[in-house]
Protein backbone atom coordinates (compact mmCIF):
# COMPACT_ATOMS: atom_id res chain seq x y z
CA UNK A 1 0.00 0.00 0.00
CA UNK A 2 1.64 3.24 -1.06
CA UNK A 3 2.15 5.82 1.67
CA UNK A 4 0.08 8.98 1.53
CA UNK A 5 1.71 12.34 0.81
CA UNK A 6 1.21 13.31 4.46
CA UNK A 7 2.99 10.14 5.59
CA UNK A 8 5.84 10.81 3.14
CA UNK A 9 6.16 14.40 4.29
CA UNK A 10 6.34 13.14 7.89
CA UNK A 11 9.01 10.55 7.02
CA UNK A 12 11.09 13.13 5.15
CA UNK A 13 10.75 15.66 7.98
CA UNK A 14 11.83 13.04 10.52
CA UNK A 15 14.96 12.21 8.50
CA UNK A 16 15.81 15.89 8.05
CA UNK A 17 15.12 16.60 11.72
CA UNK A 18 17.41 13.77 12.85
CA UNK A 19 20.14 14.41 10.27
CA UNK A 20 23.67 14.76 11.60
CA UNK A 21 25.05 15.97 8.26
CA UNK A 22 22.21 17.07 6.02
CA UNK A 23 23.00 18.23 2.46
CA UNK A 24 20.84 20.01 -0.11
CA UNK A 25 21.36 19.20 -3.80
CA UNK A 26 19.55 21.61 -6.11
CA UNK A 27 18.89 22.19 -9.79
CA UNK A 28 17.06 24.70 -11.94
CA UNK A 29 13.67 23.55 -10.64
CA UNK A 30 14.23 25.26 -7.29
CA UNK A 31 14.37 28.63 -9.07
CA UNK A 32 11.32 28.16 -11.32
CA UNK A 33 9.04 29.79 -8.71
CA UNK A 34 11.41 32.76 -8.75
CA UNK A 35 10.63 33.21 -12.45
CA UNK A 36 13.72 31.52 -13.90
CA UNK A 37 12.78 28.78 -16.40
CA UNK A 38 14.33 25.34 -16.10
CA UNK A 39 16.57 23.98 -18.84
CA UNK A 40 14.43 20.93 -19.66
CA UNK A 41 10.75 20.12 -19.57
CA UNK A 42 7.93 22.65 -19.75
CA UNK A 43 9.21 26.13 -20.65
CA UNK A 44 12.78 24.86 -20.70
CA UNK A 45 15.64 27.02 -21.98
CA UNK A 46 16.79 24.19 -24.27
CA UNK A 47 13.40 24.31 -25.97
CA UNK A 48 14.39 27.77 -27.22
CA UNK A 49 18.16 27.70 -27.52
CA UNK A 50 20.54 25.12 -28.92
CA UNK A 51 22.61 23.82 -25.97
CA UNK A 52 25.67 24.03 -28.24
CA UNK A 53 25.77 27.79 -27.55
CA UNK A 54 27.18 26.74 -24.18
CA UNK A 55 29.71 24.25 -25.58
CA UNK A 56 33.19 25.50 -24.72
CA UNK A 57 34.64 24.76 -28.16
CA UNK A 58 31.68 26.42 -29.93
CA UNK A 59 32.18 29.49 -27.73
CA UNK A 60 35.93 29.57 -28.43
CA UNK A 61 35.42 29.11 -32.18
CA UNK A 62 32.50 31.47 -32.69
CA UNK A 63 31.83 33.62 -29.60
CA UNK A 64 29.73 35.96 -31.74
CA UNK A 65 27.25 33.08 -32.07
CA UNK A 66 27.09 32.31 -28.34
CA UNK A 67 27.09 35.78 -26.84
CA UNK A 68 23.72 37.05 -28.12
CA UNK A 69 21.94 33.99 -26.65
CA UNK A 70 23.95 34.18 -23.40
CA UNK A 71 22.99 37.84 -22.99
CA UNK A 72 19.37 37.10 -23.71
CA UNK A 73 19.44 34.27 -21.16
CA UNK A 74 20.96 36.60 -18.59
CA UNK A 75 18.75 39.61 -19.13
CA UNK A 76 15.61 37.47 -19.49
CA UNK A 77 16.30 35.01 -16.71
CA UNK A 78 18.76 36.44 -14.27
CA UNK A 79 17.64 40.04 -14.17
CA UNK A 80 20.98 41.53 -15.22
CA UNK A 81 20.89 44.62 -17.41
CA UNK A 82 17.79 46.75 -16.90
CA UNK A 83 15.53 43.89 -15.79
CA UNK A 84 14.40 43.76 -12.18
CA UNK A 85 16.61 41.21 -10.45
CA UNK A 86 14.97 37.89 -9.59
CA UNK A 87 14.43 37.01 -5.91
CA UNK A 88 14.95 33.80 -3.92
CA UNK A 89 11.75 31.91 -3.15
CA UNK A 90 10.60 29.98 -0.06
CA UNK A 91 12.60 26.90 -1.04
CA UNK A 92 15.90 28.81 -1.12
CA UNK A 93 14.98 30.50 2.17
CA UNK A 94 14.17 27.24 3.97
CA UNK A 95 17.52 25.72 2.95
CA UNK A 96 19.28 28.81 4.33
CA UNK A 97 17.18 28.57 7.54
CA UNK A 98 18.08 24.87 7.97
CA UNK A 99 21.78 25.73 7.52
CA UNK A 100 21.49 28.42 10.21
CA UNK A 101 19.75 25.85 12.47
CA UNK A 102 22.51 23.32 11.81
CA UNK A 103 20.10 20.90 10.15
CA UNK A 104 22.06 20.97 6.90
CA UNK A 105 25.78 21.53 6.54
CA UNK A 106 25.93 22.59 2.90
CA UNK A 107 24.00 23.13 -0.31
CA UNK A 108 25.43 21.79 -3.56
CA UNK A 109 23.79 23.69 -6.41
CA UNK A 110 24.01 23.24 -10.16
CA UNK A 111 22.46 26.68 -10.60
CA UNK A 112 24.32 29.86 -11.54
CA UNK A 113 21.50 32.25 -10.60
CA UNK A 114 22.96 33.28 -7.24
CA UNK A 115 19.63 32.79 -5.45
CA UNK A 116 20.97 30.49 -2.71
CA UNK A 117 23.56 33.11 -1.77
CA UNK A 118 20.88 35.83 -1.90
CA UNK A 119 18.67 33.72 0.42
CA UNK A 120 21.48 33.48 2.99
CA UNK A 121 23.09 30.11 2.28
CA UNK A 122 26.74 30.39 3.23
CA UNK A 123 28.22 26.90 2.93
CA UNK A 124 27.43 26.68 -0.77
CA UNK A 125 29.09 24.58 -3.48
CA UNK A 126 28.48 26.24 -6.87
CA UNK A 127 29.12 23.10 -8.93
CA UNK A 128 28.67 24.85 -12.29
CA UNK A 129 30.31 28.10 -11.23
CA UNK A 130 28.39 31.35 -11.09
CA UNK A 131 27.56 34.42 -13.16
CA UNK A 132 29.10 37.12 -10.96
CA UNK A 133 32.20 37.52 -13.13
CA UNK A 134 33.84 37.12 -16.52
CA UNK A 135 37.23 35.48 -16.97
CA UNK A 136 39.73 36.36 -19.72
CA UNK A 137 40.73 33.24 -21.67
CA UNK A 138 44.08 34.86 -22.50
CA UNK A 139 45.39 36.53 -19.33
CA UNK A 140 43.06 34.99 -16.74
CA UNK A 141 41.94 38.37 -15.37
CA UNK A 142 38.44 38.42 -13.81
CA UNK A 143 35.98 41.28 -14.32
CA UNK A 144 32.51 41.70 -12.80
CA UNK A 145 29.75 40.47 -15.15
CA UNK A 146 27.36 43.39 -15.67
CA UNK A 147 25.70 45.41 -18.42
CA UNK A 148 28.88 47.48 -18.88
CA UNK A 149 31.39 44.64 -19.18
CA UNK A 150 29.06 42.74 -21.51
CA UNK A 151 28.07 45.78 -23.63
CA UNK A 152 30.18 44.77 -26.65
CA UNK A 153 28.81 42.17 -29.08
CA UNK A 154 31.80 39.98 -28.12
CA UNK A 155 33.12 41.21 -24.74
CA UNK A 156 36.89 41.50 -24.66
CA UNK A 157 39.44 41.92 -21.87
CA UNK A 158 41.58 45.10 -21.86
CA UNK A 159 44.42 42.74 -22.91
CA UNK A 160 42.40 41.93 -26.05
CA UNK A 161 41.58 38.40 -24.93
CA UNK A 162 38.12 36.79 -25.14
CA UNK A 163 36.00 37.13 -22.00
CA UNK A 164 33.92 34.13 -20.87
CA UNK A 165 31.22 34.09 -18.17
CA UNK A 166 32.56 32.34 -15.03
CA UNK A 167 30.05 29.49 -15.19
CA UNK A 168 30.92 26.01 -16.48
CA UNK A 169 30.28 25.42 -20.17
CA UNK A 170 29.56 21.99 -21.60
CA UNK A 171 32.91 20.29 -22.19
CA UNK A 172 34.58 22.44 -19.51
CA UNK A 173 35.98 21.02 -16.28
CA UNK A 174 34.19 21.49 -12.96
CA UNK A 175 36.07 23.85 -10.60
CA UNK A 176 38.39 21.51 -8.60
CA UNK A 177 37.29 22.96 -5.25
CA UNK A 178 33.61 22.36 -6.12
CA UNK A 179 34.42 18.78 -7.11
CA UNK A 180 36.29 18.14 -3.86
CA UNK A 181 33.76 19.85 -1.58
CA UNK A 182 30.74 18.16 -3.18
CA UNK A 183 32.42 14.75 -3.10
CA UNK A 184 33.16 15.15 0.62
CA UNK A 185 29.61 16.30 1.37
CA UNK A 186 28.07 13.42 -0.62
CA UNK A 187 30.27 10.92 1.24
CA UNK A 188 29.54 12.35 4.70
CA UNK A 189 25.85 13.10 4.44
CA UNK A 190 23.26 10.96 6.21
CA UNK A 191 20.37 12.85 4.58
CA UNK A 192 20.43 14.42 1.10
CA UNK A 193 17.47 16.53 -0.05
CA UNK A 194 17.22 16.75 -3.88
CA UNK A 195 15.27 19.79 -5.05
CA UNK A 196 14.36 20.46 -8.69
CA UNK A 197 16.92 18.55 -10.69
CA UNK A 198 16.37 16.21 -13.64
CA UNK A 199 19.63 14.41 -12.85
CA UNK A 200 20.80 14.20 -16.47
CA UNK A 201 24.01 16.25 -16.46
CA UNK A 202 27.15 14.58 -15.14
CA UNK A 203 29.29 14.65 -13.09
CA UNK A 204 26.85 16.63 -10.89
CA UNK A 205 24.16 13.98 -11.37
CA UNK A 206 26.37 11.31 -9.79
CA UNK A 207 26.29 12.93 -6.34
CA UNK A 208 22.97 11.46 -5.11
CA UNK A 209 24.22 7.98 -6.11
CA UNK A 210 27.42 8.58 -4.12
CA UNK A 211 25.39 9.76 -1.12
CA UNK A 212 23.16 6.66 -1.30
CA UNK A 213 26.18 4.35 -1.54
CA UNK A 214 27.42 5.95 1.67
CA UNK A 215 24.18 5.26 3.50
CA UNK A 216 22.30 8.54 3.12
CA UNK A 217 18.51 8.82 3.38
CA UNK A 218 17.46 10.57 0.15
CA UNK A 219 14.44 12.87 -0.18
CA UNK A 220 13.44 14.09 -3.65
CA UNK A 221 11.26 17.15 -4.31
CA UNK A 222 10.09 17.40 -7.92
CA UNK A 223 6.64 17.60 -9.53
CA UNK A 224 7.86 14.86 -11.90
CA UNK A 225 9.70 11.61 -11.15
CA UNK A 226 13.30 11.47 -12.40
CA UNK A 227 16.02 8.86 -12.91
CA UNK A 228 16.72 9.17 -9.17
CA UNK A 229 13.18 8.38 -8.04
CA UNK A 230 13.23 4.60 -8.35
CA UNK A 231 17.02 4.27 -8.03
CA UNK A 232 18.13 6.07 -4.85
CA UNK A 233 15.16 7.97 -3.39
CA UNK A 234 13.66 6.94 -0.03
CA UNK A 235 10.86 9.54 -0.04
CA UNK A 236 9.60 11.17 -3.27
CA UNK A 237 7.51 14.32 -2.79
CA UNK A 238 5.69 15.15 -6.06
CA UNK A 239 5.41 18.83 -5.17
CA UNK A 240 6.81 22.17 -6.28
CA UNK A 241 9.87 23.26 -4.33
CA UNK A 242 8.30 26.18 -2.45
CA UNK A 243 5.30 24.25 -1.12
CA UNK A 244 7.31 21.13 -0.26
CA UNK A 245 10.02 23.00 1.62
CA UNK A 246 7.54 25.14 3.56
CA UNK A 247 5.52 22.07 4.59
CA UNK A 248 8.69 20.20 5.57
CA UNK A 249 9.94 23.17 7.58
CA UNK A 250 6.64 23.33 9.50
CA UNK A 251 7.00 19.64 10.41
CA UNK A 252 10.72 19.88 11.20
CA UNK A 253 10.19 22.96 13.37
CA UNK A 254 7.17 21.53 15.25
29 binds ligand APR (CB under 6 A): yes
CB of 170 to ligand APR, least distance (A): 8
User: What is the nearest approach in angstroms of ligand APR to the Cβ of residue 24?
Assistant: 13
Whether the CB-CB separation of 190 and 217 falls below 8 Å is answered with yes
The minimum distance between CB 46 and ligand APR, in angstroms, equals 7
Does residue 239 sit in helix, strand or coil?
Answer: coil
Binding of ligand APR at residue 33 (CB under 6 A)?
Answer: yes
d(CA 254, CA 252): 6
- Distance CA(39)–CA(15), nearest Å, equals 30
- Under the criterion CB under 6 A, does residue 27 sit at the interface with ligand APR? yes
- Closest CB to ligand APR among residues 99, 220: 220
What x-and-dash track marks residues 172-211 binding ligand APR by CB under 6 A?
------------------------xxx-xx----------
Applying CB under 6 A, among 183, 223, 246, 251 the residue interacting with ligand APR is 223
Check: CB of residue 91 under 8 Å from CB of residue 109.
no
Catalytic (active-site) positions: 128
Q: Which of 17, 41, 120, 238 binds ligand APR (CB under 6 A)?
A: 41
Least spacing, CB of residue 134 vs ligand APR, in Å:
18
Give CA angle at 101 (96, 103), nearest 5°.
Answer: 85
Q: In the complex, what is the shortest distance from the CB of residue 158 to ligand APR, in angstroms, rounded to a whole number?
A: 29
Residue pair 147/82 in contact (Cβ under 8 Å)? The answer is yes
| Residue 38 is a binding residue for ligand APR (CB under 6 A) | yes
Window of 23-31, 115-123, 153-161, 178-186 that interacts with ligand APR by CB under 6 A: 23-31
Burial 112-129 (b: 16+ CB within 10 A, else e): bbbbbbbbebeebbbbbb
The number of CA neighbours under 13 Å toward the Cβ of 5 is 9
**Smaller CB distance to ligand APR: residue 158 or 225?**
225
Nearest to residue 52, comparing CAs of 60, 74, 44?
Answer: 60
φ and ψ of 102, to 5 deg: 80, 10
Residue 9 is a binding residue for ligand APR (CB under 6 A): no
Backbone angles phi, psi at 4, to 5 degrees: -75, 165
Residue showing the smallest CB distance to ligand APR in the complex: 29
Name the residues that contact ligand APR, by CB under 6 A. Answer: 27-29, 32-33, 38-41, 44, 110, 128, 196-198, 200-201, 221-224, 226, 240-241
Amino acid sequence: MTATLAENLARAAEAIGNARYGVGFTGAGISVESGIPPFRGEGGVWNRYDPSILDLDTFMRSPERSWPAIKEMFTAFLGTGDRTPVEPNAAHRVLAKWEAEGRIKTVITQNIDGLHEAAGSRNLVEFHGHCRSLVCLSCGRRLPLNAETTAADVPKCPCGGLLKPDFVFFGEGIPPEALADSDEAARRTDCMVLVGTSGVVYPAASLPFLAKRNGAFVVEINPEPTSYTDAVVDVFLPLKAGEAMERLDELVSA
